[in-house]
């Protein structure tokens, strides 16, 4: 079964054991159609057989086709779903998951999709939470398909609204909780005036579980309403939820504002009047859980206000930033860590002036936070804040340079790696960060291999930032060549991958004079030693030659020198080395330059053909064959 049929993307294997668990004989089972077998398993099988049958529901539906599925399978599924007492929760959960595959593949017309609504309504009333959540997901999936056939027939809209009213008016809270998750999508497809009023009923329900569900989906409902005139109907209940006595309701109400998106960005006066006060209150709420939930979505909430880029609302932007600062300085580590995750977003949202006035004074405290997670996220945040051109280069060097240096010396590798993994984005500024460069050199000897790999990735960018003389005199011997011979393969590979940057920065002549002699010397010394070093050097030659091909017109003999040494690797006594040499040749045989094509035709292809004929190792043969295929496809 393909992924388009099964939500899990996995077709259930044949189930002879389960078929034998049924009272029906095997011969009779083999003659049954898919629907009859499905009914047999559901009606007479044990629980294991029923689960197996429900997993095969898409197979049955697609085997029957759209017409028979509607006339035979759907009525049977309704009977199962509406049965009293309900069948096992596991079966209902599987049913809800598998029915998503029916739409739109088998049911695309609005009236056909409507046939599933009674089942969804029943599943939304089940006591088990996971079943209700899946029912909500199924209803939202149906609404997505209904959006494609708008406008809907009034009778269909009436049916959807009637279902909503039954769920909202139910005696037990489970149906109301499901209704809260379905109403935003239902309003999107129906645009019926009764649905916002039904949602208001959920918001003021006496049961905290219902109010929590309404608060959780409040942002989606506001987004579905689409304009401030309609949204005004929900303002009183929104304010009530944001100040609910239950902190679990308050935290969900404010966090749901992140789902509003940019719908109300064109009316910042409205967001200033109704949403900004709630944001301010939540940032100083006595419950840390409310502040924590707001911290996790603060950037999205701020962007939904519509203040950005409007000078008229600069004071309101400043107020939002002050709220963010209070979260960054929160006494709870979880709140600080979640807020720091939105630091870069708020920098770009507020601009350079608000950064200097509000956020910059807090950075030293965040960088020295006692909690490692806060420091790690702070390290990542300042790297991301440096991108995009929001902050001037001078400000970045002055403000972030000392902090980056401190992060590189942190006792936890996770903090160091956040900087190392992103420092290449600031390579053009490293000439003004001497302390950072010194720290990077010291970290080339770190015991943690991930740190060494991060340094290896950075070194070519340092050549670009500090110049080739600096690389040759300061970085080559103590760092580059040491990491190229590192015992961990990932570190050596990082050096190999950096060859293309070096070629681009340094040019062929410098590479031929400074790098190639070192690589040749290492390879010669390794001929009687570890074959892994020989593999690394051959991979470096291949990357270098490929980089030369991508930068034509730079002149020099670097490409030819690399090819010569790779061809030498084809004669190595170790099969793995020969295989890597052949893989390296596969990268260079696609050259377009006339002189390079001549070398490929006269030397590389004959060498590959000879090696393919003489080679005894299967992997080497495959590598040679792939290289020849790549050469002949040009």
- 19 pLDDT above the threshold of 90: no
pTM over 0.75: yes
Q: Report the pLDDT value the prediction gives residue 434, as an integer from 0 to 100.
A: 82
Residue 155, judged by CB atoms within 10 A of its CB (0-12, 13-18, 19+), counts as exposed
**CA atoms of 406 and 340, how far apart (whole Å):** 17
Angle between helices 558-569 and 531-550 (to 10 degrees): 150
Q: Report the pLDDT value the prediction gives residue 20, as an integer from 0 to 100.
A: 56
Would you call 602 helix, strand, or coil by DSSP?
helix
Q: Report the pLDDT value the prediction gives residue 6, as an integer from 0 to 100.
A: 43
**CA atoms of 170 and 111, how far apart (whole Å):** 25
Segment 439-494, tens digit of pLDDT:
888 888 889 999 999 999 999 988 888 888 888 888 888 889 999 999 999 999 99
Strands (E), 506-630: none
Would you call 495 helix, strand, or coil by DSSP?
helix
Segment 310-353, tens digit of pLDDT:
899 999 999 999 999 999 999 999 999 999 999 999 999 999 99
**CA atoms of 80 and 74, how far apart (whole Å):** 10
Which comes out higher in pLDDT, residue 513 or 431?
A: 513
CA dihedral sign of residues 107, 112, 118, 121 = positive
Q: Which two tokens stand for residue 362?
A: 């807090």
Q: Which two tokens stand for residue 69?
A: 């599925």
Q: Report the pLDDT value the prediction gives residue 4, as an integer from 0 to 100.
A: 41
Segment 164-205, tens digit of pLDDT:
999 999 988 999 999 999 999 999 999 999 999 999 999 999
What percent of the chain has pLDDT above 70?
94
Segment 109-120, tens digit of pLDDT:
899 999 999 999
| Residue 472 contacts residue 439 (beta carbons within 8 Å) | no
Which comes out higher in pLDDT, residue 555 or 24?
A: 24
| Residue 386 contacts residue 425 (beta carbons within 8 Å) | yes
Among residues 413, 417, 351, 423, the alpha carbon closest in space to that of 382 is found at 423
Residue 154: which residues within 8 A CB-CB, separation 6 or more? none
| Residue 253 contacts residue 241 (beta carbons within 8 Å) | yes
Among residues 350, 329, 338, 330, the alpha carbon closest in space to that of 297 is found at 338
Residue 289: which residues within 8 A CB-CB, separation 6 or more? 247, 248, 251
Would you call 594 helix, strand, or coil by DSSP?
helix
Q: Report the pLDDT value the prediction gives residue 628, as an integer from 0 to 100.
A: 92
Would you call 305 helix, strand, or coil by DSSP?
coil
Q: Which two tokens stand for residue 442?
A: 């010291």
Residue 173: which residues within 8 A CB-CB, separation 6 or more? 205, 207, 209, 210
**CA atoms of 270 and 248, how far apart (whole Å):** 26
Residue 67: which residues within 8 A CB-CB, separation 6 or more? none
Segment 563-613, tens digit of pLDDT:
999 999 999 999 999 999 999 999 998 888 888 889 999 999 999 999 999
**CA atoms of 49 and 40, how far apart (whole Å):** 10
How many angstroms from the chain centroid is the CA of residue 96? 26
- 7 pLDDT above the threshold of 50: no
**CA atoms of 575 and 410, how far apart (whole Å):** 43
Q: Report the pLDDT value the prediction gives residue 8, as an integer from 0 to 100.
A: 43
Residues 220-233 have a mean pLDDT of 91
Q: Report the pLDDT value the prediction gives residue 554, as an integer from 0 to 100.
A: 52
What is the CB-side half-sphere exposure of residue 482 using CA atoms within 13 A? 17
- Given this structure, which CATH class describes domain 519-551+559-634? mainly alpha
Which ranges of 275-371 does DSSP label H, i.e. alpha helix?
276-283, 288-304, 314-328, 333-340, 343-354, 363-367
| Range with the poorest average pLDDT among 42-46, 224-228, 291-295 | 42-46
Among residues 136, 52, 139, the alpha carbon closest in space to that of 103 is found at 139
- 17 pLDDT above the threshold of 60: no
| Residue 537 contacts residue 519 (beta carbons within 8 Å) | yes
Q: Report the pLDDT value the prediction gives residue 29, as an integer from 0 to 100.
A: 63
104 prior amide bond cis, ω within 30: yes
DSSP 259: G
Residue 411, judged by CB atoms within 10 A of its CB (0-12, 13-18, 19+), counts as exposed
Q: Report the pLDDT value the prediction gives residue 37, as an integer from 0 to 100.
A: 83
CA dihedral sign of residues 52, 56, 60, 61 = positive
DSSP 35: H
What band does 5 get if pLDDT is binned at 50, 70 and 90?
very low
| Residue 12 contacts residue 3 (beta carbons within 8 Å) | no
Among residues 590, 502, 608, 516, the alpha carbon closest in space to that of 557 is found at 516
Mean pLDDT of all residues belonging to the chain: 89
Q: Which two tokens stand for residue 321?
A: 């930033």
| Residue 384 contacts residue 421 (beta carbons within 8 Å) | no
Segment 29-73, tens digit of pLDDT:
667 788 888 888 888 767 888 888 898 899 999 998 999 999 999
- 630 pLDDT above the threshold of 60: yes
**CA atoms of 216 and 202, how far apart (whole Å):** 11
Residue 117: which residues within 8 A CB-CB, separation 6 or more? 142, 159, 160, 163
Q: Report the pLDDT value the prediction gives residue 44, as an integer from 0 to 100.
A: 76
What percent of the chain has pLDDT above 90?
62
Q: Which two tokens stand for residue 466?
A: 């500090």
């Amino acid at each position: 079964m393909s992924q388009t049929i099964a939500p899990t993307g996995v077709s259930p294997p044949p189930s002879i054991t389960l078929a034998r668990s049924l009272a029906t004989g095997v011969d009779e089972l083999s003659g049954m159609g898919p629907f009859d077998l499905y009914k047999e398993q559901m009606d007479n099988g044990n629980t294991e057989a029923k689960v197996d049958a429900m997993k095969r529901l898409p197979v049955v539906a697609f085997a029957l086709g759209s017409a028979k599925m509607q006339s035979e399978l759907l009525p049977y599924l309704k009977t199962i779903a509406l049965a009293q007492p309900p069948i096992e929760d596991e079966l209902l959960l599987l049913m809800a998951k598998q029915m998503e595959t029916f739409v739109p593949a088998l049911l695309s017309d609005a009236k056909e999709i409507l046939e599933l609504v009674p089942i969804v309504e029943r599943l939304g009333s089940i006591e088990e939470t996971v079943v209700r959540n899946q029912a909500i997901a199924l209803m939202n999936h149906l609404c997505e398909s209904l959006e494609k056939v708008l406008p809907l027939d009034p009778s269909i809209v009436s049916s959807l609204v009637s279902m909503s009213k039954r769920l909202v008016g139910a005696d037990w809270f489970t149906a109301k909780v499901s209704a809260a998750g379905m109403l935003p999508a239902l309003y999107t497809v129906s645009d019926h005036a009764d649905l916002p009023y039904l949602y208001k009923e959920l918001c003021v329900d006496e049961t905290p579980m219902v109010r929590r569900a309404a608060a959780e989906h409040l942002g989606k409902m506001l987004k579905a309403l689409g304009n401030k005139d309609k949204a005004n109907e929900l303002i009183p209940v929104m304010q009530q939820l944001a100040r609910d006595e239950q902190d679990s309701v308050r935290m969900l109400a404010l966090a749901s504002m992140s789902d509003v998106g940019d719908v109300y960005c064109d009316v910042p006066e409205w967001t200033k009047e109704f949403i900004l006060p709630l944001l301010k209150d939540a940032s100083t709420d006595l419950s840390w859980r409310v502040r924590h939930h707001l911290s996790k979505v603060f950037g999205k909430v701020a962007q939904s206000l519509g203040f950005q880029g409007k000078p008229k609302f600069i004071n309101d932007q400043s107020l939002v930033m002050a709220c963010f600062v209070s979260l960054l300085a929160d006494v709870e580590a979880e709140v600080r860590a979640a807020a720091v995750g939105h630091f870069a977003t708020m920098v770009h949202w507020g601009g350079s002036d608000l950064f200097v006035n509000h956020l910059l004074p807090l950075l030293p405290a965040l960088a020295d936070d006692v909690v490692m997670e806060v420091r790690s996220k702070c390290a990542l945040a300042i790297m991301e804040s440096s991108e995009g051109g929001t902050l001037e280069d001078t400000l970045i060097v002055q403000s972030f340079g000392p902090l980056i240096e401190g992060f590189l010396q942190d006792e936890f590798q996770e903090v160091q790696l956040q900087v190392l993994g992103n420092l290449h984005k600031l390579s053009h500024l490293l000439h003004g960060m001497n302390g950072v460069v010194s720290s990077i050199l010291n970290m080339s000897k770190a015991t943690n291999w991930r740190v060494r790999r991060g340094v290896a990735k950075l070194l070519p960018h340092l050549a670009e930032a500090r110049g080739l003389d600096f690389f040759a005199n300061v970085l080559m011997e103590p760092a580059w060549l040491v990491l190229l011979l590192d015992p961990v393969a990932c570190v050596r590979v990082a050096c190999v991958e950096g060859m293309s940057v070096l070629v681009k920065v340094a040019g062929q002549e410098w590479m031929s004079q400074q790098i190639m002699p070192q690589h040749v010397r290492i390879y010669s010394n390794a001929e009687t030693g570890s074959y892994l070093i020989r593999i690394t050097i051959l991979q470096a030659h291949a990357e270098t030659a490929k980089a030369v091909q991508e930068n034509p017109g730079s002149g020099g003999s670097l490409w030819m020198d690399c090819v010569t040494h790779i061809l030498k690797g084809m004669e190595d006594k170790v099969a793995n080395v020969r295989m890597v040499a052949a893989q390296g040749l596969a990268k260079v045989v696609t050259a377009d330059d006339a002189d390079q094509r001549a070398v490929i035709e006269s030397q590389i292809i004959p060498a590959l053909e000879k090696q393919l004929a003489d080679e005894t190792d299967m992997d080497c043969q495959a590598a040679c064959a792939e290289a020849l295929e790549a050469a002949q496809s040009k």
